[in-house]
Amino acid sequence: MRNRFLKCLITSTHLHNKTKMYKTEAVAKTSKDSKFEKITIERGSTSEDDVEIDVKFCGICHTDIHVALNDFGGTIYPNVPGHEAAGVVSKVVWTSRS
Ligand SMILES: [Zn+2]
């Protein structure tokens, strides 16, 4: 998997109590010893102070591999690696505060 680019979809992860959830596909490991597989995950819809990004590509780096394999401990499965992404901002939600 190293140095392979995977197309995936992610959005900001700042969730709020009133956030509506939606389902999307992701490439994940479901356990330390599983292979990467396509699964359906729930994500929070864009809400206050969020930026939605239509991710076109994301990479899998050295750190992602170690986290996916739980080499640092504490990995929560399913694990969807890929924190280095390139995409287009598709929505900005900003609420002015007084
Ligand atoms: Zn990285």
pLDDT (0 to 100) of residue 1: 35
**What's the CA gap between 42 and 22, in Å, rounded?**
5
- The CA distances from residue 10 to 2, 16, 32, 43, 46, in Å, are 20, 17, 22, 8, 11
pLDDT (0 to 100) of residue 96: 72
Residue range 90-97: average pLDDT?
80
Residue range 80-89: average pLDDT?
92
User: 14 in helix, strand or coil?
Assistant: coil
Residue range 28-33: average pLDDT?
95
Q: Which CATH class is domain 2-93?
A: alpha beta
- Cis link prior to 81 (omega < 30° from 0)? no
| Mean confidence (pLDDT) of the chain | 81
pLDDT (0 to 100) of residue 11: 37
User: 97 in helix, strand or coil?
Assistant: coil
pLDDT single digits (tens) 4-22: 333 333 433 444 455 688 8
User: Which residues keep their CB under 5 angstroms from ion ligand 1?
Assistant: 61, 63
- The residues spanned by each domain of the chain are 2-93
Q: Cα of 62 to ligand 1 centre, how many Å? A: 6
Q: Cα of 83 to ligand 1 centre, how many Å? A: 6
Q: Cα of 96 to ligand 1 centre, how many Å? A: 33
Q: Cα of 80 to ligand 1 centre, how many Å? A: 13
Please give the model's pTM, rounded to 2 decimal places. 0.64
